[in-house]
Homo-oligomer: A and B are copies of this chain.
Amino acid sequence: MAKKTRYTVVGAGHGGRAMAAHLALMGFPVNLYNRTAQHVAAIKTRGGIELKSYEGGPHGFAELAMVTSDMEEALREAQVIMVVVPSSAHADIARKAAPYLHDGQIVLLNPGRTGGAMEFTKVLSDQGCEADATVAEAETFIYASRSEGPAESRIFRMKDAVPLAALPAHRTDVVLEALKSAYPQFINGVNVLHTGLNNMGAVFHPALTLLNAARIESTKGEFQFYIDGVTPSVGLVLEVLDRERVTVAAALGIRARTALEWLRMAYDATGANLAEAILNQPGYRGIMAPRTLRHRYLFEDVPMSLVPIVAFAQRYGVSVRGMESVVRLACFVHRTDYWRRGRSLGKLGIERWSVSELTAYVNEGVVPSGTTWSPIWMAS
């Protein structure tokens, strides 16, 4: 039998724990990295994670090869690096990993939100990384999971099909091949513009949070986020944002799925309009609202999902006034300049490129002549 793929999971929140434990229970050697050693002290002491699961799902004590807060040590032996942190931390992980990556390694962002692989690549390049590593991003996170203690995790569901794309896209098959012994669920997501623009969280999370802002704060989230929070008028706003997202994709030559299509495809949930289809998705039952507005639905999805989509829109001539309105309100609520903090085209390294130049970059990895930076695959 072939040697088992060696994984490093970066990030030990509920998602990273679930993934590390599941991979280990499948028999793969797994390193778990977390920036703050204290957060993984209990896992290090026990030597692994107790995984619980749905009926018939993976469960048991998952022994880990290494638990560390030293990035060099974490990456040394890894073949596949699964990044499972909020996308607002992707740039920081790239900076930390840049000196230690080496040829042939695969980095998968779980998920990338919008522009994740492009930002990660740009930061690696800016840091002088010369490793011929492959950066890829998943469209969504494969698990629905929760932490139930310092060294425990529980998986509620696993998705059947998760698109992913490498940057550049001609490397996607290599990534799928490396992952398939663990995750046959990953499928080819075309390229990172597709995965980034099929980001449904960009449409759902910030608007739904803001249009329920007072209720979240005054009830501490004691209501069902989708079932109570998506009323007919809120649905109208989500539909406008969704149309804007699909239009931005069209301006980039991409046929993105509408939220209605996605709900039908992923959950077989249908309805006369978006609000109805959401109410008809049984998986949304029981999902409670955030307990506070200091939640990743705003502080992650606004800068890492909406801001880059708005940046594409402004560059390629699409009006996205709904999205702009949502970003602005989020800036007020958090007293934060998400336009500056978020993924601008400059941070993605693609400022002033034409659509065909951008397409050539995500598919072939070539950059326009005159570009002042070189992606890692050109440096190596």
Q: Is the CB of A234 within 8 A of B217?
A: yes
Q: Is the CB of B233 within 8 A of A293?
A: yes
Quickly give the copy total for this chain.
Answer: 2
Tell whether A97 is near chain B: CB-to-CB under 8 Å.
Answer: no
Q: Is the CB of B332 within 8 A of A328?
A: no
Total interface residues on A, using CB and 8 Å?
A: 32
Nearest opposing residue in chain B for A237, CB measure? B332
Tell whether A4 is near chain B: CB-to-CB under 8 Å.
Answer: no
Tell whether A240 is near chain B: CB-to-CB under 8 Å.
Answer: yes
- B-side contacts of A214, CB under 8 Å: 208, 211-212, 215, 228-231, 233-234
* Bound CA span A330–B228, Å: 20
- B-side contacts of A232, CB under 8 Å: 217
* Bound CA span A128–B223, Å: 57
Tell whether A378 is near chain B: CB-to-CB under 8 Å.
Answer: no
Most buried by B among A208, A213, A216, A228: A213
Measured between C-beta atoms, what is the minimum distance from A246 to chain B in Å?
16
* Bound CA span A219–B293, Å: 21
From B208, B231, B293, B329, A218 is in contact (CB under 8 Å) with: B231
Measured between C-beta atoms, what is the minimum distance from A326 to chain B in Å?
8
- B-side contacts of A187, CB under 8 Å: none
Q: Is the interface of A mostly helix, strand, loop or mixed?
A: helix
Tell whether A161 is near chain B: CB-to-CB under 8 Å.
Answer: no
Measured between C-beta atoms, what is the minimum distance from A228 to chain B in Å?
5
Nearest opposing residue in chain B for A293, CB measure? B233
Q: Mark A177-211, 1 if CB is under 8 A from B, else 0.
A: 00000000000000000000000000000001011
Tell whether A314 is near chain B: CB-to-CB under 8 Å.
Answer: no
* Bound CA span A32–B231, Å: 40
- B-side contacts of A218, CB under 8 Å: 223, 228-229, 231
Q: Mark A322-339, 1 if CB is under 8 A from B, else 0.
A: 101110110011010000
Q: Is the CB of A332 within 8 A of B236?
A: yes
Nearest opposing residue in chain B for A224, CB measure? B218
Measured between C-beta atoms, what is the minimum distance from A364 to chain B in Å?
38
Measured between C-beta atoms, what is the minimum distance from A249 to chain B in Å?
20
Q: Is the CB of B236 within 8 A of A333?
A: yes
Tell whether A341 is near chain B: CB-to-CB under 8 Å.
Answer: no
* Bound CA span A223–B211, Å: 16
Tell whether A255 is near chain B: CB-to-CB under 8 Å.
Answer: no
Tell whether A321 is near chain B: CB-to-CB under 8 Å.
Answer: yes
Q: Mark A116-159, 1 if CB is under 8 A from B, else 0.
A: 00000000000000000000000000000000000000000000
Q: Mark A301-337, 1 if CB is under 8 A from B, else 0.
A: 0000000000000000000011011101100110100
* Bound CA span A332–B230, Å: 14
- B-side contacts of A216, CB under 8 Å: 231
* Bound CA span A312–B326, Å: 23
14 A–B contact pairs at CB < 8 A? A208-B214, A212-B213, A212-B215, A214-B234, A215-B215, A216-B231, A217-B231, A217-B232, A218-B229, A236-B332, A236-B335, A237-B329, A237-B333, A325-B328
